[in-house]
Amino acid sequence: MKKSFLNKLTIVLLVAISTLSGFKVQAQEKPVDLVYPHLDAANSRWFFFSSACRPFGMVNLSPDNEIGGAWGSGYRYDTHEVKGISHVHAWQLSALSVMPVNGEAKDLKDDYYSPFSHETEVVAPGYHKFILDRFGITAELTSTTRVGFHKYSFSKAEQKSILVKLNGPNGPCKIVDGKIEKVNSREFTGYVTNAPTRRRPKETPVFFYIELSEPTQELVTWQENEISEKSKGVEGMDAGAMLVFKDKQEKPLLMKVGISYCSAEEAKNNIKVELNHWDFDKVAADSKEDWNNWLSKIQVKGASKNDRVRFYTDLWHGLQGRRIISDASGTYCDMTGDGRKVKQIPLDKNGKPKFNHHNFDAMWGAQWTIATLWPLAYPQVASDFCNSMLNYYNDGGLIPRGPSGGNYTYVMVGASSTPFVVSTWMKGIQDFDIDLAYEGLKKNHMVGGIMGKAGYEHRTSEGGGIDKYIELGYVPHPHAPRAEAYHKDGAGMTMEYSFQDWTLAQLAKSLGKTDDYNYFLKRSSNWKNLFDTSYGFIRPKDNEGNWRTPYDPYEYQNDGFVESNAAQMTWYIPQDYAGLAELMGSKAAMASKLNNEFAQAQKLGFTAGKKHSDENRKRARNISINYGNQPSMQCAYIFNDIGAAWLTQKWSRAVIDSVYTGVSPYVGFNGDEDQGLMGSLSVLMKIGLFQLDAGASENPKYQIGSPIFNEITISLSDNYYSGKTFKITANNNSKENIYVQSVKLNGKSLGRMYLLHDEIISGGEMVLEMGPEPNKELK
Amino acid sequence: MKKSFLNKLTIVLLVAISTLSGFKVQAQEKPVDLVYPHLDAANSRWFFFSSACRPFGMVNLSPDNEIGGAWGSGYRYDTHEVKGISHVHAWQLSALSVMPVNGEAKDLKDDYYSPFSHETEVVAPGYHKFILDRFGITAELTSTTRVGFHKYSFSKAEQKSILVKLNGPNGPCKIVDGKIEKVNSREFTGYVTNAPTRRRPKETPVFFYIELSEPTQELVTWQENEISEKSKGVEGMDAGAMLVFKDKQEKPLLMKVGISYCSAEEAKNNIKVELNHWDFDKVAADSKEDWNNWLSKIQVKGASKNDRVRFYTDLWHGLQGRRIISDASGTYCDMTGDGRKVKQIPLDKNGKPKFNHHNFDAMWGAQWTIATLWPLAYPQVASDFCNSMLNYYNDGGLIPRGPSGGNYTYVMVGASSTPFVVSTWMKGIQDFDIDLAYEGLKKNHMVGGIMGKAGYEHRTSEGGGIDKYIELGYVPHPHAPRAEAYHKDGAGMTMEYSFQDWTLAQLAKSLGKTDDYNYFLKRSSNWKNLFDTSYGFIRPKDNEGNWRTPYDPYEYQNDGFVESNAAQMTWYIPQDYAGLAELMGSKAAMASKLNNEFAQAQKLGFTAGKKHSDENRKRARNISINYGNQPSMQCAYIFNDIGAAWLTQKWSRAVIDSVYTGVSPYVGFNGDEDQGLMGSLSVLMKIGLFQLDAGASENPKYQIGSPIFNEITISLSDNYYSGKTFKITANNNSKENIYVQSVKLNGKSLGRMYLLHDEIISGGEMVLEMGPEPNKELK
């Protein structure tokens, strides 16, 4: 009775939250209550949407409305039909789609989709409830990190069943093989196997262990059209299963599903470790509390309710997507070699794994997003990712830039992990093997490393052009015509390599490797070889050193630049904006030019479109600066570095207003949040701290921008940092008062427009006075 | 009988010519026979098409298929209906539309249009024949300079009449007033008055005198709907007239129509002086011979028949449009003051006028077209135009840039006549008052002159911004928001003023005016104030010196540039390409950039569209280099000046191939030939001689390009030049062999890629060896 009452109360509260009403008294606001999971859900891709999921959770359980393809699939707001409930929505991977139903296998096995309605839906961090209208079943979902927890309330008691999908399309690929085996009437185990993809070329099984709150009457399985009643299990292609219950009452049915990339046993163990009870509401509440703790690492006050909702939704996105793949025991699956190998993360003195191992989409753009956010507010996460990368290095011989299924995908280009690792180290997060890391990073920057490979280049190492880069000082474009790879864009790669070289040089310097420092520092100026002074823009060169012709600085992609154009990539030189200014005439000339590029981009709303696919529309994709993707998302903060801080304030606020302010299923991240990158970017711009160079230099700088909140309090990790909190106060802040008039740090005028890492992590307060007119003297 | 036979033969020949068949033996080719008057006629504007017209003829008699508006009117190839036959098709003017008909005034006065067919049409320089199918009347037209000569063959003898239009729309404006008066049964006189236009703000009458080969039965006139038979004449609004003949035979009716801007008497005198007989075929033959003499000043051999047809059609266009407005006696009408004043051109010792006075559309672009072509091959024309300009200066106090109806129009911007006058003088064509000219030119370049006026700025002198140009070193943009003017584009004006200043400085130097030389030379570098090194393009600045933002170098017009964009106008610095190269990094960098701009433009066929109105289409109008209008038409020849002559050869040939090669009513000059400018440009590019700086320096340079012909012979004027001919031979020339391998002048290696004026006018031969691969050493 009490539990039921609480349950109802929770639902009422969640409804209130999700509709953004109530909570007039700001003091009562909990960050988790502000998260709006439906943001951008109309433009969802497979791994974008989350509900029943923990931070970086291996399991993220949610209904799928579209199931075909990596794009436009998963939970899609405008498709009002559930086609299954999957446990894994990850980069190149899905796993275990189930569906509670009423009926018989013969009728339903190929026809079990059900309409649902947003009107009866509740969705919040760690919790999802919806009604399958066809069956009258209310499904509720929550999870621990590795276990999905289902609660199904059947309105009809007859033929209560749960369909288990063991084949067919599910997100980025087909499930080509599956198995389910009955352990006993309440426990089932098995796996589903993801077909290879162009990006993840090996079959990848995901194991599951199912535990039920009540016994099944029988397991019905099928293979193609042959249905087996009272089955012990089934395995192979075109298989499926239905768990049929004898219970004719309407009491809710609970189901735990442990997931593992290693084995069914580890899946079972994940349940044992993480979910040893049947109290669904407690898990939902725990999940909520878990999220609230994570989200509360950055507390904000002021601005509008809408702004705070969007902020915590952005932050929430910054803490998922790049999912854990190791088990509670520390086992994980190494797929870098010839076969599947189950391996073990070292354990600490308490017998717990020293870190969580991860899958993740590209680190391409991480330098301006998670490389700042995580070390600042979640240093343990940054540490885990560095250790994950070293784990891959130990297993496969390369530090990855976006692994999936325990193996490399070679997504995008360059050694995009280098800035992240260097930044983490430079910030004093040093609980990983830096010698091993340096060895791996350096390998990536040389022939034989990841800079030799362009996008998804699995079989060869030609598309990356590192040999040409070393020989000629740039990667020619076009080049490597026969290499089976995407993004063989020489100029774009040159720009990225140059910057990544600079970050590696900083680490070399810090480690006393002077020769390496000099070598990579020299390479870091290779961008100059592609700077065409006659246009003031980067321009591709061919193998003979001829400028690319015809050339249009705004022509999008396919012309030497990766998901960008020359105009955007010209600003991709955080290692040397002084050098760029010199080539453009002066810092003032450069600021004027960049200011104009922003003014041009503003006409298109600062993004190449509202959907990733919009970038195929010529006018939009030829934008001067694009805040819908990673290549030019640092641009607003460049002004800070060249004596025009007020323009950073102006344009970062304009971008926030235009791109990162809306709260609806139809806006958000222009259809591609990229697993925490765009969410993190938005968070950083909104708190007014940004690291142009990824924070890869010693005692790294944080550029001071124009925070949108009156108060921002960052909790500093006890394990890594000496201070308790760093607070930013922006007095007189408003939508109009976007300009910083003065900056004080701990009561003293700062005299510069950046903070040093040490100043933040030792705790304290920065006070900004805000006003409607720029103070152009602040530099 | 003999005459009739000759007539038929002529027609047969003309049909053959106009259909481009026959004439296999090149030696028999006469230039006049190659002219294809239908070129671009589908895109005609009022004054574009010509048939029965002499070089620069006051009269250009042709049928009008469309009569409303200055654009899309006159002879339009795809409109198969004659709506009248007008005697004047000029810049902002029309005059005297007539129509032979069968029928009565009451039936026809508002309904006399007739279908016609190209199949029965013959059109050639100086001759036009077509059948008015509704009436069965064959109309033939020819002319002297100031007299239209009509021959009408009626298939029905009943009610033979000629309708005379005295009101209604006719091209650029309405005819608002008209008069016809019977002198005797074979002579009639009167006038039609052109309504004011935005560009030509005064009512402008044009007088006529009609002489007929046979007597009329009566004159029928009307005013509104009131018809007067046996009328003595009519005058006023809404009037019209019909000449009705008593002759019931089918013998051809001949009509002479003298035209004058001064009076009916002068119109009559023009007939007396120019056409004192009734031999129609002789006049047609004379006109043809006249044209052939003019066209033969440049003789070409080689290339294809199609190429020669197009060449002489281009040249033919370069010799008309800018029409004579003074009478045979030398009287002309000065409309610059309060009223109409009939004035007299001074007479020479033989009692003939010393020069012909002219109307003309803008000199905007003349520096790269007629300022070279006319002094080179038609020095008398250049002289006449200089004297015309001085005449305007004497009458109205300003040297004009595009007068119409004896008055200023202030078309376009700047002192666009300066380079033309300076160029003419520098070439030794000095039979005009240079002191007066200098006084007038200098006035134009100062406050109070034409640089104070933007487009069509009649009442004020604000839009031109010369005061700001002198004060700030540039014309701000935006500026003069209240000035009633077009083209108030500050950056565009700055670029034009700077170049025009340089040409005036050259004249000042030549006249020993050192202070003026220094002053205008200094001003000629004002373009540098608008060069944005960060983009490598010209960029507008506002009154406070701020760069225009948002700014797109390719954004067309309305953003600081006159019928162009920043990218195009960046090359508008013929006075200082060395300076531009320095700002772009080097001559090589500049050449590389310009080469790329050409490669970009090539994608759009080097023009902003096939019609003037196409320039409203954003993609097309944002072209990097536009060979469909004047602002960037020198660009292919810039390479010659910066050490990359082979690129001049490459791109000038590519432009010719793409833009100036077609022969059909649907291609030609992209719908706007601009009264000889584009025709002249095409001629110059095809003979491979081009003057970047208009030839405004002492002993001016002619850049050597890539002629498309094997032999080009320019006849040099006995009156002005010492040599007899200058011949250009291009051995081994073809569509593939476009590159100059070597250059010899009079048997000696030239060692440079330009000729001096003296070298040409003293006669001789330049021999080019052509080949398929560039000789990059030639500089």
Return the HEC string of A557-621: CCCCCCCCCHHHHCCCCCCCHHHHHHHCCCHHHHHHHHHHHHHHHHCCCCCCCCCHHHHHCHHHH
Is the per-residue pLDDT at B612 higher than 80? no
Token pair in block for residue A693: 């160079």
Q: What is the mean pLDDT of residues B269-274?
A: 98
Spatial neighbors of A665 by CB under 8 A, at least 6 apart, are A38, A39, A40, A41, A42, A77, A78
Asked if A549's CB is within 8 angstroms of B596's CB, the reply is: yes
Do A409 and A269 sit in the same domain of this protein? no
Given CB atoms, is A588 within the 8 Å cutoff of chain B?
Answer: no
State the Cα angle at B655 between B650 and B656, rounded to 5°.
Answer: 100
What integer pLDDT is reported at residue B2 of this predicted model? 42
> What average pLDDT does the segment B187-216 reach?
96
Does the beta carbon of B24 lie under 8 angstroms from any beta carbon of chain A? no
Sheet architecture: strand order including B754-756: B689-690, B701-704, B754-756
- Which residue of chain A comes nearest to B597, CA vs CA? A550
Asked if pLDDT for residue B557 goes beyond 80, the answer is: no
Contact state of A584 with B533 under an 8 Å Cβ cutoff:
yes
In a domain, B456, yes or no: no
Contact with chain B for residue A603, Cβ under 8 A = yes
Cα separation, B279 vs B31, in Å, equals: 24
What is the structure's pLDDT at B33? 97
Strands B754-756 and A60-63: unpaired
Count the Cβ atoms, other than its own, within 10 Å of residue A246.
Answer: 11
pLDDT bracket for residue A564 (50, 70, 90)? very high
Question: Bridge-partner residues for A322, per DSSP?
Answer: none
Q: Which residues on chain B are in Cβ contact (under 8 Å) with A550?
A: 596, 599-600, 602-603
Q: According to the model, what pLDDT value does residue B21 have?
A: 42
Sequence-distant (≥ 6) Cβ neighbours of residue B272 within 8 angstroms: none
Is residue A450 within 8 Å of residue A444, measured between CB atoms?
yes
Q: What is the CATH number of the domain that holds A223?
A: 2.70.98.10
User: Roughly what angle, to the nearest 10 degrees, separates helices B434-444 and B379-396?
Assistant: 60
Q: Which residue of B has its CA nearest to A546?
A: B592
In a domain, A336, yes or no: no
How far is B750 from B738, CA to CA, in rounded Å?
19
Structure tokens at B556: 């067309």
Measured between beta carbons, the chain B residues lying within 8 angstroms of A590 are: 534
Is A227 in the same domain as A309? Answer: no
Min Cα distance A617 → chain B (Å) is 14
Find chain A residues with C-beta within 8 A of B595's C-beta. 549
Joined together, the tokens standing for residue B741 give 């391998």
User: Does the pLDDT of residue B28 top 70, yes or no?
Assistant: yes
B741 within some domain? no
Whether the CB of B550 is below 8 Å from some CB of chain A: the reply is yes
Q: What mean pLDDT value characterizes chain B?
A: 94
**Which residue of A534, A551, A599 is in closest CB contact with B585?**
A534
Q: Which residues of B touch A593 (CB under 8 A)?
A: 532, 534-535
pLDDT for B9 beyond 70: no
Long-range contacts, stretch A394-397, CB < 8 angstroms, 24+ apart: A394/A436, A395/A334, A395/A336, A395/A337, A395/A341, A395/A343, A396/A334, A396/A336, A396/A337, A397/A336, A397/A443
Asked if residue A447 is part of any domain, the answer here is yes
Query: Which residues in chain A are contacts of B547 at CB distance < 8 A?
Result: 592, 596
Q: Which residues of A touch B536 (CB under 8 A)?
A: 533-536
B241 SS3 class: strand
- Segment B128-143 shows an average pLDDT of 97
**C-alpha pair distances (Å), A725 with each of A691, A729, B58:** 19, 13, 89
The set of residues, in sequence order, having a beta carbon less than 8 Å from that of B392 and lying 6+ positions away, is: B336, B398, B399, B400, B403, B408
What is the domain extent for residue A521? 298-321+352-532+551-768
Q: Are strands B725-731 and B764-771 parallel, antiparallel or unpaired?
A: parallel
Say which amino acid occupies A72: G
- Based on the domain organization, do A306 and A268 belong to the same domain? no
Write down the mean pLDDT value for chain A.
Answer: 94
Q: Is A536 on the interface with B (CB under 8 A)?
A: yes
Residues of chain B contacting A595 with CB distance shorter than 8 Å:
549
pLDDT at B249 over 80: no
Q: Does A550 touch chain B (CB under 8 A)?
A: yes
Q: Hey, what are B253's tokens?
A: 């009716």
Which candidate from B550, B589, B599 shows the least CB-CB separation from A533? B589
* CA dihedral of A746, A750, A756, A758, whole degrees rounded to 10: -30
| CB A241, CB A164: distance < 8 Å | yes
CA distance B693 to chain A (A): 23
- Rounded Cα distance between B416 and B454, Å, is 12
Question: Residue A743 CA to chain centroid, in angstroms?
Answer: 33
Tell whether A289 and A306 lie within a shared domain. Answer: no
Which helix (DSSP H) or strand (DSSP E) does residue A79 occupy? none
Distance from CA of A608 to the nearest CA of B (A): 17
Nearest Cβ partner for B536 among A534, A550, A551 = A534
Q: Are the beta carbons of B550 and A600 separated by less than 8 Å? A: yes
Among the listed residues A46, A237, A66, A53, the one whose alpha carbon sits nearest the alpha carbon of residue A145: A53
3-state SS, residue B67: coil
Between CA A686 and CA A707 the distance in angstroms is 5
A76 shares its domain with A186: yes
Q: What percent of chain A has pLDDT over 90?
A: 91
What is the predicted pLDDT for the residue at B646?
A: 98
The answer to whether residues A62 and A134 touch, using CB atoms and an 8 Å cutoff, is no
Other Cβ atoms within 10 Å of A157 Cβ, number: 13
Question: Which chain B residue is nearest to residue A600, measuring alpha carbons?
Answer: B550
B555 touches chain A (CB under 8 A): no
3-class secondary structure, A206: strand
Same domain? A307 vs A253 = no
User: Using CA atoms, how far apart are residues B379 and B430, in angstroms rounded to an integer?
Assistant: 10
Which residues in B lie closer than 8 A to residue A581 (C-beta atoms)? none
Mutate to test the interface with B, among A534, A570, A597, A619 (most CBs of B within 10 A): A534
Query: How much of chain B is helix, strand and coil, in % rounded to 5?
Result: 30, 25, 45
On chain B, the residues whose CB falls within 8 A of the CB of A603 are 550
Angle made by CA atoms B257, B263, B268, in degrees to the nearest 5: 40
With contact defined as beta carbons under 8 Å apart, do B469 and B525 qualify?
no
CB contact under 8 A, B535 and A532: no
Q: Which residue of A has its CA nearest to B599?
A: A550
Domain membership of residue B65 (yes or no) is yes
Question: Which pLDDT value is given to residue A7?
Answer: 47
Preferred mutation among B528, B529, B534 to probe A, highest tally of A CBs within 10 A: B534
- Radius of gyration, CA atoms only, chain A: 26
Is residue A78 within 8 Å of A86, Cβ to Cβ? no
Q: Is the CB of A533 less than 8 angstroms away from the CB of B600?
A: no
Residues 177-206 of B with CB under 8 A from A: none
> For residue B552, what is the nearest residue in chain A, using CA coordinates?
A600
pLDDT in tens, A712-760: 999 999 999 999 999 999 999 999 999 999 999 999 999 999 999 999 9
- The per-residue b/e assignment along B359-398, b for 16 or more CB within 10 angstroms, e otherwise, is bbbbbbbbbbbbbbbbbbbbbbbbbbbbbbbbbbbebbeb
Q: Please tell me which of the candidates A532, A536, A599 has its beta carbon nearest to residue B534.
A: A536
Q: Please name the member of A547, A550, A590 whose beta carbon is closest to the beta carbon of B603.
A: A550
Do B533 and A596 count as a contact with CB atoms less than 8 A apart? no
Mean pLDDT of the region B159-168: 95
Give me A151's structure tokens.
Answer: 């609660």
The answer to whether B533 contacts A602, with C-beta atoms less than 8 Å apart, is: no
Kindly list the distances between the CA atom of residue A654 and the CA atoms of A602, A671, A691, B600, in Å, as whole numbers in the listed order: 8, 20, 19, 33
In a domain? residue B470: no
Nearest CB among B534, B590, B593 relative to A592 is that of B534
- Check whether residue A385 and residue A507 sit in a common domain: yes
Residue A156, pLDDT score: 87
Distance from first CA to last CA of chain A, Å, rounded? 63
Residues of B in contact with A584 (CB under 8 A): 533-534
In a domain? residue B147: yes
Residue B596 near chain A (CB below 8 Å): yes
Task: For residues A622 and A609, give the distance between their C-alpha atoms in angstroms, rounded to a whole number.
Answer: 11
Question: Of B257, B267, B258, B407, which is closest to residue B341 (Cα–Cα)?
Answer: B407
In whole angstroms, what is the distance from residue B161 CA to residue B258 CA?
19
Q: How far is A583 from chain B (nearest CA, A)?
A: 8
Query: Is A593 within 8 Å of B549 when comparing Cβ atoms?
Result: no
Q: Does B225 touch chain A (CB under 8 A)?
A: no
The yes-or-no verdict on residue B432 having pLDDT over 80 is yes
Which stretches of A207-318 are DSSP H helices?
A: 264-274, 280-295, 305-317
Task: Indicate whether A280 pLDDT > 50.
Answer: yes
Question: Which CA distances in Å does A52 have to A142, A148, A172, A324, B61?
Answer: 4, 8, 20, 15, 85
Q: Which amino acid is at A68?
A: G
User: Are the C-beta atoms of residues B628 and B635 closer than 8 Å to each other?
Assistant: no
- Which residues of chain A does B532 touch, with a Cβ-Cβ cutoff of 8 Å? 589, 592-593
Rounded to whole angstroms, what are the CA distances from A543 to A352, A465, A467, A528, B596? Answer: 53, 11, 12, 16, 18
Strand A168-170 relative to strand A160-165, pairing: unpaired
Q: Which two tokens stand for residue B248?
A: 């019931």
Instruction: Give Cβ neighbours of residue A435 (< 8 Å, ≥ 6 apart).
Output: none
Query: What average pLDDT does range A34-45 have in this prediction?
Result: 95
Would you state the pLDDT for residue A18? Answer: 45
Cβ of B585 and A533 within 8 Å? yes
CA distance A427 to B159: 104
The structure tokens listed for B426 are 């520098």
- Residue A531 contacts B where some CB pair is shorter than 8 Å: no
From chain A, pick out residues whose CB is under 8 angstroms from the CB of B534. Answer: 536, 584-585, 589-590, 592-593
Mean pLDDT computed over A170-186: 96
Cβ of A551 within 8 Å of Cβ of B600? The answer is yes
Q: Do A534 and B595 touch (CB under 8 A)?
A: no
**Predicted local distance difference test score (pLDDT) of residue A608:** 86
Name the helix (H) or strand (E) containing B182. strand B173-184
Query: Which pLDDT score, from 0 to 100, does residue A615 have?
Result: 56
Confidence of residue A144 (pLDDT cuts 50, 70, 90): very high
Report yes or no: B179 and B239 within 8 Å, Cβ to Cβ: yes
Identify the pLDDT of residue A614: 61
Confidence (pLDDT) at B609: 73
| Domain count along chain B | 1
Distances in Å between the alpha carbon of B560 and those of B250, B475, B478, B496, B568? Answer: 62, 10, 7, 12, 12
Distance CA A361, CA A346 (A): 24
- Residues A423, A366 contacting (CB under 8 angstroms): no
Find, in chain B, the residue whose alpha carbon is nearest to that of A582. B534
Query: CA-based Rg of chain B, rounded to a whole angstrom?
Result: 26
**Chain A residues in contact with B589 (beta carbon < 8 A):** 532-534
Q: How far apart are CA B171 and CA B86, in angstroms?
A: 10
Three-point CA angle B647, B648, B653, nearest 5°: 100
The answer to whether residue A2 sits within a structural domain is no
